Amino acid sequence: MKVFYKKNYTKIILFLIIFIVLFCVCLVAIQNPSKYVYFLLPSPSLVIVLCLLGLITLPYISYHFIGWIFKARYGLEINEKGINNHLYFLKVNFIKWDEIVDVSLSNESNEKRIKIIVKDFDKYLKESDFLTRFFMNHQVKNGEAVIYINPYFLKAEKKELFATILKEWKNNKLRSNITN
């Protein structure tokens, strides 16, 4: 069975525009940091640090969002072999069913994402760039290698997407148990 979920281009482009505006704000603020000192940013050095951080991370994230726009036609594909997630920062987008240890809904900070624990997280990290590896290593919690699927940028309901992934994963476990 193949199930396709389309990308939500409106949300992706909206976030891209927000990142471009924030990048421009960082460019303006770093030229005269003392002008932007107020109670949230009490010193010019803090303004400089935050602007530098924005000037480094915003183009990186924007690059991925632009890639998501022009990449594959669908944002997520679920088939008999696994999950092909085109809306993620990792270079390896395909997760085989037999590499998945657990599937659950994550409810961290009121954001419901689908949490997929995989056996060999390094396989997904090895071809990624430095910043991606840095951020993704922070997702390895309690020895669990976690990949998240965020339905926010898909035209799909969270519960429907989770039910489909869980059903296909369990079906694959049954098929693999029967063949063994």
* Mean of all residue pLDDT scores within the chain: 83
For residue range 60-96, list pLDDT tens digits in order. 889 888 888 887 777 888 998 999 888 776 666 788 9
For residue range 138-179, list pLDDT tens digits in order. 666 555 667 888 888 888 888 888 999 999 999 888 877 776
Closest CA to 55 of 34, 26, 28: 26
Q: Cα separations (Å) of 29 from 24, 59, 150, 156?
A: 9, 17, 32, 38
d(CA 44, CA 32): 9
pLDDT at 55: 95
pLDDT at 15 over 60: yes
Q: Which residues contact 61 (CB under 8 A, 6 or more apart)?
A: 19
pLDDT at 25: 93
d(CA 20, CA 162): 32
Q: Cα separations (Å) of 81 from 84, 86, 155?
A: 9, 16, 22
Average pLDDT over residues 41-46: 89
pLDDT at 140: 65
Average pLDDT over residues 15-31: 94
For 71, half-sphere exposure in the C-beta direction (CA atoms, 13 angstrom radius) is 21
Residue 56 CB neighbour total at 10 angstroms: 11
pLDDT at 106 over 80: no
pLDDT at 61: 87
**Domain coordinates of the chain in residue numbers?**
3-70, 89-179
pLDDT at 179: 66
